[in-house]
Amino acid sequence: MRYSFKIGSAWGIPIELHITFLLLIIAVFILSYPHFYLFFIILFLFLFVVFHELAHSVVARHYGFKVRKIVLYPIGGVSEIEEIPDNPSQEWRMAVAGPLTSLVLGFALLAVSLLIYPQFITAVLAFAVTGNLLFDLATLNISLGLFNLIPAFPMDGGRVFRGLLAERIRYSDATRYAVYLGKIFGIVMVLVGFLFPSYFLLILVGIFVYIGASEEAEQTIISTALAGVRVKDVMQSEIGSVNPQQSLTEALEVMFKNRYHDALVEKDGIFQGVVTWNELMKIKPEERSALRVEQMPLKNISAYEDESILEVNKIMIREKIDLIPVVDKQNPTKIVGVLTSEAISNAYEKSKNR
């Protein structure tokens, strides 16, 4: 992701910090001077946000989903999971893992702090800030967990609510109800922020919730519409391929002519593989005329005409390619068409406009 940089990893999952979060840390550091209590609170809070996001990621991995990375923003963390599970029970379990982790951490810290400072029992009832780091972190974790359990998109609670509903009704209907609830929560937060100026931050949160719910509705509607679109509906029947004996310079010419970002390799009508743009760009320009296509690493990836473009698009994203050859199901070495990322984007835009 742009404007973010890696600060570490956990269980092989990269953790990145967005530049805006770094700016927040600097601003809080300056505003906290000379006591820096707020600064340490923010640092520890976002450490717990990492635990929150790791919980999502661990459950996602348990179900076989790849987690690309975790990115920390000023408004919280985001776990970039390769795909949203089709199984509703998997979705709500992945979603609820984060808030439950925050609540467990919060109540554990609360128990420890009350053992050390039993006089804080009155602060628990008032949900007040005490100035004690351990106690305040406990209440912040509990608040984080409870807030994320609100059944409104884009919070975790919205996905939990949709997942539980989708076990009983259609996924699209479950999404619609969850989106309605999310928008209602967003509007209520904005109204409360206007009516009670001391809670003015609720205006920003409410707008964030409303927009998030709207985007979720749009994405689900489009995905539902595209689920019925087959590869044969949007593929190109005209194929521009290269021979293994051709030079890399000639391969690039074919790619530019056909507006491909990768090169299809075919010999005597038999599909050989795909040479990616990234691999070609690794070769210096002055060396491309001397090297042959057959000397390059090939990706042996293809799709069938009756496959869903959503499933094929997942493969293209995972393999980092912009086109995929469509082969005959009875003869997988025969190319019958080409599906490009541009064609998928066009289908997406048409569904969006409809």
| Residues taking part in catalysis | 53
As given in the structure block, the two tokens for residue 206 are: 């409410």
Measured between alpha carbons, how far is 44 from 119 in angstroms, rounded to an integer?
A: 23
Measured between alpha carbons, how far is 178 from 167 in angstroms, rounded to an integer?
A: 13
As given in the structure block, the two tokens for residue 9 are: 């990893």
3-class state of residue 71 by DSSP: strand
φ/ψ bin of 140: left (φ > 0), alpha (ψ from -120 to 50), beta (otherwise): alpha
Question: Residue 269 — φ and ψ, nearest 5°?
Answer: 80, 5
How many other C-beta atoms are found inside a 10 Å radius of the C-beta of residue 239? Answer: 16
As given in the structure block, the two tokens for residue 23 are: 């700016």
Measured between alpha carbons, how far is 243 from 268 in angstroms, rounded to an integer?
A: 8
> Are 117 and 132 in contact, with CB atoms under 8 Å apart?
yes
Measured between alpha carbons, how far is 242 from 294 in angstroms, rounded to an integer?
A: 10
Indicate the angle between helix axes 201-226 and 341-353, nearest 10 degrees: 110
| Alpha-carbon separation of residue 167 from 43, 88, 89, 161 (angstroms) | 39, 6, 7, 10
Helix (H) or strand (E) holding 138: helix 133-148
Residues 6 or more apart in contact with residue 155 via CB below 8 angstroms: 147, 148, 149, 182, 209, 212
- Owner of token pair 């810290």: 109
Residues 6 or more apart in contact with residue 2 via CB below 8 angstroms: none
